[in-house]
Amino acid sequence: MNIFKGQRIALASLFENNAQADRFQVGLSISGSKEAIDFACFGLDSQQKLSDDAYMTFFNQPKTPCGAVELSTPVGDTLGFSCQLAKLPAKIDKLVFTAAIDGSTSMGQIKDGYLRFLISNQEVARFSFSSVDFQDEKAVMLGELYRKDGTWRFSAVCQGFNGGMAALVKHFGGEVAEEAPLPVSSKLSLEKKLASAPKLINLAKKATVSLEKYQLQETVARVGLVLDASGSMMNQYRTGKVQEVIERLLPLAVHFDDDGELDVWAFSSNVLALPAATLNNYADFINTAEGGWNNWGMMSINNEPSVIKQVIELYQKTLLPVLVIFISDGGVSRNKEIKDLLTNAACLPIFWQFVGIGGRNYSVLEQLDTMAGRIVDNCGFFALDDLNSISEQELYDRLLSEFPLWLKAAKNKHIL
Does residue 339 lie within any of the structural domains? yes
Residues 256 and 373 in one domain: yes
| Residue where one domain finishes, among candidates 142, 171, 200 | 171
Task: Return mean pLDDT, the chain.
Answer: 86
Does residue 178 lie within any of the structural domains? no
170-220 tens-digit pLDDT: 888 876 554 444 344 444 567 677 767 778 888 888 888 889 888 898 888
Does residue 396 lie within any of the structural domains? yes
Please state the domain count of the chain: 2
Confidence (pLDDT) at 182: 39
Residues 223 and 254 in one domain: yes
Query: Which residue, 57, 52, 50, is CA-closest to 26?
Result: 57
Partners of 101 in beta bridges: 37
Does residue 319 lie within any of the structural domains? yes
Average pLDDT in the 243-262 region? 86
Classify 2 as helix, strand or coil: strand
Gap between the Cα atoms of 291 and 30, Å rounded:
41
Where residue 19 falls among pLDDT bands split at 50, 70, 90?
low
Residues 199 and 122 in one domain: no
Range of the domain at 296: 190-412
Residues 217 and 102 in one domain: no
254-296 tens-digit pLDDT: 888 767 789 999 999 999 999 999 998 999 999 999 999 999 9
Position 388: which residue type? N
Does residue 105 lie within any of the structural domains? yes
Residues 47 and 143 in one domain: yes
Position 332: which residue type? V
DSSP letters spanning 247-300: HHHHHHHHHH-TT--EEEEEESSSEEEEEEE-TTTGGGHHHHGGG-GGGSS--S
CATH of the domain at 61: 2.60.60.30
Position 38: which residue type? D
Residues 307 and 351 in one domain: yes
Residues 159 and 228 in one domain: no
Query: Which residue, 9, 259, 262, is CA-closest to 125?
Result: 9
Does residue 198 lie within any of the structural domains? yes
* Consecutive H or E run containing 25: strand 24-31
352-374 tens-digit pLDDT: 999 988 877 788 888 877 788 88
Residues 144 and 205 in one domain: no
Residues 144 and 197 in one domain: no
| Residue where one domain finishes, among candidates 171, 203, 220 | 171
Instruction: Please state the pTM of the whole predicted model.
Output: 0.62
Does residue 185 lie within any of the structural domains? no
Query: Which residue, 127, 95, 121, is CA-closest to 25?
Result: 121
Residues 246 and 385 in one domain: yes
Residues 237 and 164 in one domain: no
Question: Residue 290 — φ and ψ, nearest 5°?
Answer: 50, 40
Partners of 2 in beta bridges: 126
Residues 43 and 165 in one domain: yes
CATH of the domain at 198: 3.40.50.410
Does residue 302 lie within any of the structural domains? yes
Confidence (pLDDT) at 42: 94
Q: Please tell me which residue, 101 or 122, carries the higher pLDDT value.
A: 122
